[in-house]
Chain A
Amino acid sequence: MSFVFYLLAALTVAGAFAAMLLKNTVHCALALTVAFAGLALLFLNLDAQFAGFAQILVYIGAVAILVVFAILLTRGSETPRDGVFSRTWFVGLLIAAGVFATLSWAVLQSVRVLPHETAVPTVTVLQIGNALVGRFVLPLEIVALLLTAATIGAVIVAMHEKEGQQ
């Protein structure tokens, strides 16, 4: 594996660790942005340019900003008095460690049968567009419906209800 991969993987994992460990919630959001950027660069490293730029646009451009808005609207930047981790943090950590051990064991067991094509795929945006409105047109329509429903739902859920009004 190349030096670039190790650099990007270290950046992404460090960002994810910081996002889950830091005390200040705003710092967590910034660390999350670093992790998302590292993932986008990993996608670019995998020759998936379209997915990489979609990741930058959607995650860094929209989700990270939404998270920051939510933190500021809920005064979540104040560090709570009784710690940032829940009472049952040990059980959660144990479950996560077990999941990681299982996943990495499965990967390491199947190293020999994993495919490893060496040819670099050349995919143009034209091909992606054709696939989206051809073979994948039904999922595209469903995603369009889902995004409309989610937009309306998010607005209705977060709408401020006045006193005495339903």
Chain B
Amino acid sequence: MTPLASYLLVAALLFSIGLAGALTRRNAILVLIGIELMLNAANLNLIAFWRYGPHPELLTGMMFAIFSIAVAAAEAAVGLGLVIQIYRHAHTTDLDAMNRMKG
């Protein structure tokens, strides 16, 4: 097992944990946490490929990961703002209870 393959397997496991959480939890905030875990797993892949791939001095994978971190931060801010607004409106963060498109 090469080092890169081990990192890729860890990232695949993290991605699956995040996906399982996003698909099974009721609380909207925990679904967002699952999505953050999936984004982080992708970042781990990018950094691992940057480290063990050819031409690390071009910084491609590292830059991709840094931009991905910035986008994930924006996503978290907007997502949590939406969850807070939905809570004000429906007084719940339970996704099973949110079954109406109309307010």
B25 touches A85 (CB 8 A): yes
- Chain A contact-residue range equals 35 or more
Task: Write the chain B residue with the least CB distance to A19.
Answer: B33
Q: Is the interface of A mostly helix, strand, loop or mixed?
A: helix
Count of chain A to chain B residue pairs whose CB atoms are closer than 8 Å in the complex:
248
How many residues of chain B have a CB within 8 Å of chain A? 74
Bound Cα distance A69, B23 (Å): 23
* Residue of B6, B50, B81 touching A157 (CB-CB under 8 A): B81
A19 touching B21, Cβ below 8 Å: yes
Inter-chain contact B71/A136, CB cutoff 8 Å? no
Contact A80 B18 (CB under 8 A): no
Identify the interface centre among A5, A50, A150: most chain B CB within 10 Å of its CB: A150
Known contacts A66-B76, A84-B26, A92-B20; is A123 also within 8 Å of B33 by CB?
no
Which residues of the other chain, B, contact A111 by a CB distance below 8 angstroms? Answer: 1-2, 5
* Distance of A128 from chain B, by nearest CB (Å): 7
Cross-chain contact A80 with B30 (CB below 8 angstroms): no
When the two chains form the complex, which single residue of A1, A54, A89, A99 contacts B3, counting CB atoms closer than 8 Å?
A: A1
Q: Which of A123-147 contact B (CB under 8 A)?
A: 123, 127-128, 131-132, 136, 139, 143, 146-147
Contact: B33 with A28, CB < 8 Å?
Answer: yes
With both chains docked as a complex, state the minimum distance between the C-beta of B68 and any C-beta of chain A, in angstroms: 10
**Interface residue? B101 (CB, 8 A):** no
Contact A151 B5 (CB under 8 A): no
Do A128 and B78 touch (CB < 8 A)?
Answer: no
Contacts of A116 in B (CB 8 A): 2-4, 52
